[in-house]
Structure 1
Amino acid sequence: MEPTLFAVLAVVSIAVVAAFSERLKLAAPLSLVVVGIGASFLPGVPHPAIAPELILAGVLPPLLYSAAVNMPVVDFRRNIRPIGGLAVLLVVMSTLGAGWLFHWLIPGIGWPAAFALGAVISPTDAVAASSVGRRLGLPPRLLTVLEGEGLVNDASALVLLRSAVAAVAGSVSVWGIVGEFGYAVVLAVGIGLAVGVVNVRVRALLNNDVLNTAISFVVPFVAFLPAEELNASGVLAVVVAGLVTGHLGPRHVRATDRIAEATNWRTVAFLLESGMFLLMGLSVQTLLDEVHDDGTGVARALLIGLAASAVVILIRVVFVAPLIAGLHREQRKAARLKPRVETAQAALQGDEPDSGVGARLRRLSPRRLRRFRERLDRMAADIEFRLTETLGWRGGVVLGWAGMRGAITLAAAQTLPAATPGRAQLVLIAYVVAITTLLAQGLTLPAVIRAARVPREDPWRLRTEYVRLMGTLAGVAESILDDPELEDADGTPFAGRVLDQVRSDTRLPAEATTGPPSQEQIEIAHQYLRLRLRVLAEQAERLQQARASGEYSSAALSRAQTALDVETARFEQLGQAERG
């Protein structure tokens, strides 16, 4: 089959399977794997052989970058302990445990090759877990931990795999592995920081959303390639670059450029993720044939793969228990620290001028006092987060079961040296682990979430917090508009009608802050949304008529279409939130 025709059919298949998965309330990655496995046994269906380097260096960087850009740095920082534990310590434990199992079950494999295969199956793929979790309304902190783990654990596993492969060819000490790991992490973080900052600064100079998006497409590789060339973790460099870009982007990059970039990146990430899972299924028949021709035994490889799946699942469940206990201790510590922080904040506001804290604060310079206030406010927010956004044992159950492996495991398995004894069997074992955990855990994860009764996100709390934030922003607008010295860029005062219109657009409705809405207010809000969407639909129809008549220029039509699209999308999202 022609490559172009295969690519077209693959994209169409991905879209169709994803659409049916949404109707069936299944995660698309799971459906794509099942469809790919079934198609691999059909006559005439091609079994594409894609070099693993293409996946690790061509597909993985943009996928991780697109996820990291959307990960709030504050959330990542607040959850660095569970993310680090799952992405580093758990990967090491899984590598050691699975390596011991492989050395016991596979004669003559040797410890280095056993640990290499253990590193291959150690990283989880959080795509399916996060997609199921979002659909079922998991708490934001649990989703953040799952997604953060998926961002970082690939780097840990690939560094361990590199060390194990090097040990196959020679001798590598434990301290050598630790030193290589530290070097890879430190250098990768530095490269990622530099690339992220330069990326945002350069794109801030451009006034074109197409050019901005085009540059964003190469940023993952700009971070990945030099890090890999210097024997650092290219994957981690990409993640750091994405986090920095997502954090600094709203301050420097235009909103129009970010909207266009987000839409394009969602499409790219969807196709890359879906393509990897479809390829994962299509490769099964070819791999079975290779193991059969090798004579190492398909049945034995399947049994070892199932045993390894059980081992990595068990290790994760055992690891999560003390992790949740540690988060509970962290919560108790935050509760003890909260009164002290509140006392310091009261002293800063002058409510307790005679306290010892207030006396010490008065001795600080204005600059140090401002920095202290910023750190104190950040500490208070972190404490409130730890007290309200808790995981508990219910979240721990879901976290322990959401350990599905994915396409990265398959790509990493293909990088095992060709001279490795029984290589085809080892690759098949990795496939069995990936597919078993993906399907067995992925398909049962919704039932586990329901059985654990994980509390869903409180929509009223989220709405209240949103209203409070909008009230703060409305206050900023009022302070600007009430400034008697407010002038235009040319020094002339603004017209009164202009000030009134801007004040009306930015004022927060009075009833928005008065507790839970009544049934009448809810119905009025629904009517407003329906009427606003109807008006926008009529405006869009009139715009199409104007386009057909040719009475307006293309530039005017394009600008009007963009404004209508943004407004319609905003109100459609509000309507979905109200219905949800």
Structure 2
Amino acid sequence: MELTLIAVAGVISIVAVAAFSERLGLAAPLGLVIVGIGLSFVPGVPRIDVAPEVVLTGVLPPLLYAAAVNMPATDFRRNIKSISGLAVLLVAGTTLGAGWLFHALLPGIGWPTAFALGAVVSPTDAVAATAVGRRLGLPSRLLAVLEGEGLVNDASALVLLRSAVAAIAGSVSMGGLVWDFVKAVGIAVAVGLVVGYVNVRIRGLLHDGVLNTAISFVVPFIAFLPAEELRASGVLSVVVAGLVSGELSPRFVRATDRMTERMNWRTLAFLLESAIFLLMGLGLRSLIDDVREEHLSPWTGLGVGLAASAAVIVLRIGFVAPLIGVLHKDRRRAEQAKPRVERIKSRIDEHDLTERFSPRQADRITRRVGRVAADIEFELNEALGWRGGVVLAWSGMRGAITVAAAETLPVDVAQRPQLVLVATVVAITTLLVNGLTLPLVIRAVRIPGDDQDRIRAEYTELMAVLTAAGQDYLDDPGLDADPQVVAEIRERFGQPPRDADQAARDELRDEYLRVTLGVLEAEQQRLFRARSEGGYSSRTLSGLQRRLDIQTATMQRIGDSE
């Protein structure tokens, strides 16, 4: 009964704090941490201990899957240099830098433990940053980099943490560490690809929203568990499975089922994210008590945590500055390559490639060149300048994963309660200091958002392309359909045909639905091609995908109700 009351009170608190935070213009995770800290010092509030395995194996996989499945794979590919730099190189650098600091300030813990704690505080949590960024209109590319970093850096940090913990037992070498990292990544990617593909193919056979969503709820764990058993990164496997599922779902899973799944996942992700931020704040008082019970100084833990918070912020700033320089060079190379690619593209348009290549090869060449041209336009139109670099550098908040990872340190490690307190202080400090001041930083640098005129022009252009694909379907001489139905669809697409004779209307209804779904399928196939060509922004593609999903789901539901 007590556990039920706590769960009910927790959900009510989460909803109330989220609603109140929205009114204050505050990111909900920040409000939940503040409320949690306050409640932890209220007399009578029960101590809530959550095993780290619950967070790392029960909460983290579904959260990462929910984020990955909604991230366009094209955005991830185009920003892979920034994402891999922040999620791998910066995590490794932070592990080394913070580890050196911990060894200097806490010399009794030893180098392996110092690096283990460095790995614990190295990954960032993008939830608060993206929540603030969306509300304040950050450009889509910057948000994609932050989300991509948040998806991958947990995997890098946990692999490094595993190696550091092994080093505490004296069973790892530098060569072994590098090999373990490469192997963990390779196996994780392979498992994620297989699970993601099998997921969408199986769910494509189920024409039931409840069954589809039920299957999707276990997919993160199906990707996570085999990878972990193979000593790979289960977290990275989940991310890859999510990216593959998100990219392939429109091809295999019905629109009705995807819309149902999307809403269910949004609700689940909201509750899980909010719960771990609330618990992070609630656990502060308990950690302080644990430190005192071990006759250690909470003030030392606080001081080291604050020093480490400053260190990880400085390390991030120091890394992002040259990263922006590298991206600027990429933009210059794109400017130089644009005329050459345009010449190649014009030659392809002027000549019939099927004279020299098979139709499939010609289509592949055309798409490849179009994708390269689109990537160049992406670099030129959505460049991350120094303003974006400032926001990116200040968005390095840590989160509940840092606290949960700290709890996995071996129980016989020296000063363990104090180390967990240090990690918690780093998480809370960066979350509150960076999170609360991030809106001021965004406003101060005046970073421009997406070009709304360009987005509207893209949307209109692609909408016309899809409409033309639907019209081509109706114009196909081989279309076996009643002329009255075709005329009605042309005139009032998406509405049932009007007929004075109700009986005649009923007879035409099935055919109307069939032809309408055929038009929508033709538009969907054209959208797939536009996605593969890369000529439109992910925002435009996502907007039109939602439009098609709504129209298709409406027709499917009408058909299912009969």
Give TM-score scaled by structure 1 length. 0.84
Deviation readout 1:355-385 (Å, 9 max, x if unpaired): xxx9x99644443322211110111111111
Match of 1:420 in 2: 413
Deviation of 1:259 (Å): 0.3
In structure 2, distance between residues paired with 1:5 and 1:72:
39
Aligned residue among 418, 433, 453 for 1:440: 433
Deviation of 1:114 (Å): 0.1
Alignment partner of 2:260: what SS?
A: helix
1:481–1:503 CA contact under 8 A, matched in 2: no
Residue identity over aligned pairs, in percent, reads: 64
Deviation of 1:263 (Å): 0.3
What root-mean-square deviation, in Å, do the aligned CA atoms of Structure 1 and Structure 2 show?
1.9
In structure 2, distance between residues paired with 1:349 and 1:223:
43
Aligned residue among 433, 447, 466 for 1:454: 447
Match of 2:378 in 1: 385
Aligned residue among 401, 413, 423 for 1:430: 423
Deviation readout 1:99-126 (Å, 9 max, x if unpaired): 0000111021110000000000000000
Matches within 5 A, 1:462-481: 462-481=455-474
- One-letter amino acid of the structure 2 residue matched with residue 460 of structure 1: D
Deviation of 1:484 (Å): 2.7
2:256–2:557 CA contact under 8 A, matched in 1: no
Match of 1:496 in 2: 484
Match of 2:106 in 1: 106
Match of 1:41 in 2: 41
Match of 1:282 in 2: 282
Match of 1:376 in 2: 369
Deviation of 1:171 (Å): 3.7
2:35–2:281 CA contact under 8 A, matched in 1: yes
Q: Which moved more, 1:40-49 or 1:74-83?
A: 40-49
In structure 1, distance between residues paired with 2:82 and 2:229:
30
Deviation readout 1:260-301 (Å, 9 max, x if unpaired): 000000000000000000000000010001111212211111
1:62–1:220 CA contact under 8 A, matched in 2: yes
Matches within 5 A, 1:153-172: 153-172=153-172
Match of 1:568 in 2: none
The 1:13–1:471 alpha-carbon spacing in structure 2 relative to 1, beyond 3 Å, is: same
Deviation readout 1:144-178 (Å, 9 max, x if unpaired): 00000000000000000000000001142111110
Deviation of 1:559 (Å): 5.9
Match of 2:55 in 1: 55
Alignment partner of 1:486: what SS?
A: coil
Deviation of 1:30 (Å): 0.2
Aligned residue among 496, 505, 515 for 2:493: 505
Aligned residue among 464, 479, 486 for 1:486: 479
Deviation of 1:483 (Å): 2.1
Match of 2:272 in 1: 272
Match of 2:542 in 1: none
Give TM-score scaled by structure 2 length. 0.87
Deviation of 1:345 (Å): 1.1
In structure 1, distance between residues paired with 2:40 and 2:260:
37
Match of 1:136 in 2: 136
Aligned residue among 398, 401, 410 for 2:394: 401
Match of 2:339 in 1: 339
- One-letter amino acid of the structure 1 residue matched with residue 76 of structure 2: F
- One-letter amino acid of the structure 1 residue matched with residue 220 of structure 2: P
- One-letter amino acid of the structure 2 residue matched with residue 485 of structure 1: G
2:402–2:427 CA contact under 8 A, matched in 1: yes
Deviation of 1:458 (Å): 2.5
The 1:365–1:211 alpha-carbon spacing in structure 2 relative to 1, beyond 3 Å, is: closer
Q: Which runs of 5+ in 2 are unaligned?
A: 495-518, 520-553
Match of 1:186 in 2: 186
Alignment partner of 1:438: what SS?
A: helix
In structure 2, distance between residues paired with 1:73 and 1:378:
14
In structure 2, distance between residues paired with 1:479 and 1:267:
39
Match of 2:537 in 1: none
The 1:373–1:498 alpha-carbon spacing in structure 2 relative to 1, beyond 3 Å, is: closer
The 1:195–1:497 alpha-carbon spacing in structure 2 relative to 1, beyond 3 Å, is: closer
- One-letter amino acid of the structure 2 residue matched with residue 11 of structure 1: V
Deviation of 1:35 (Å): 0.1
2:138–2:450 CA contact under 8 A, matched in 1: yes
Match of 2:550 in 1: none
State yes or no: 1:18 paired with 2:18.
yes
Deviation readout 1:12-68 (Å, 9 max, x if unpaired): 000000000000000000000000000001111112111101100000000000000
Q: Which moved more, 1:104-113 or 1:27-36?
A: 104-113
Deviation readout 1:485-531 (Å, 9 max, x if unpaired): 321xxxxx322353343354289xxxxxxxxxxxxxxxxxxxxxxxx
1:324–1:393 CA contact under 8 A, matched in 2: yes
Match of 1:95 in 2: 95
Match of 2:126 in 1: 126
- One-letter amino acid of the structure 2 residue matched with residue 498 of structure 1: V
1:122–1:157 CA contact under 8 A, matched in 2: yes
Match of 1:514 in 2: none
Alignment partner of 1:457: what SS?
A: coil
In structure 2, distance between residues paired with 1:367 and 1:465:
28
Deviation readout 1:438-485 (Å, 9 max, x if unpaired): 000000000000001110223222111111111000110111112233
In structure 1, distance between residues paired with 2:374 and 2:368:
10
- One-letter amino acid of the structure 2 residue matched with residue 233 of structure 1: S
Matches within 5 A, 1:130-279: 130-279=130-279
In structure 2, distance between residues paired with 1:411 and 1:378:
41
In structure 2, distance between residues paired with 1:405 and 1:84:
18
Alignment partner of 1:349: what SS?
A: helix
In structure 1, distance between residues paired with 2:260 and 2:171:
50
How many residues align? The count is 502
1:486–1:494 CA contact under 8 A, matched in 2: no
- One-letter amino acid of the structure 2 residue matched with residue 170 of structure 1: G
1:477–1:503 CA contact under 8 A, matched in 2: no
- One-letter amino acid of the structure 2 residue matched with residue 329 of structure 1: K
1:324–1:391 CA contact under 8 A, matched in 2: yes
Alignment partner of 1:505: what SS?
A: coil
- One-letter amino acid of the structure 1 residue matched with residue 182 of structure 2: G
In structure 1, distance between residues paired with 2:237 and 2:491:
44
In structure 1, distance between residues paired with 2:100 and 2:61:
31
State yes or no: 1:7 paired with 2:7.
yes
1:27–1:131 CA contact under 8 A, matched in 2: yes
In structure 2, distance between residues paired with 1:6 and 1:87:
36
In structure 2, distance between residues paired with 1:175 and 1:315:
25
Matches within 5 A, 1:547-562: none
Deviation readout 1:380-422 (Å, 9 max, x if unpaired): 1111111101110000000000000000000000000000000
Deviation readout 1:57-81 (Å, 9 max, x if unpaired): 0000000000000000000000000
In structure 2, distance between residues paired with 1:363 and 1:472:
28
In structure 1, distance between residues paired with 2:118 and 2:355:
58
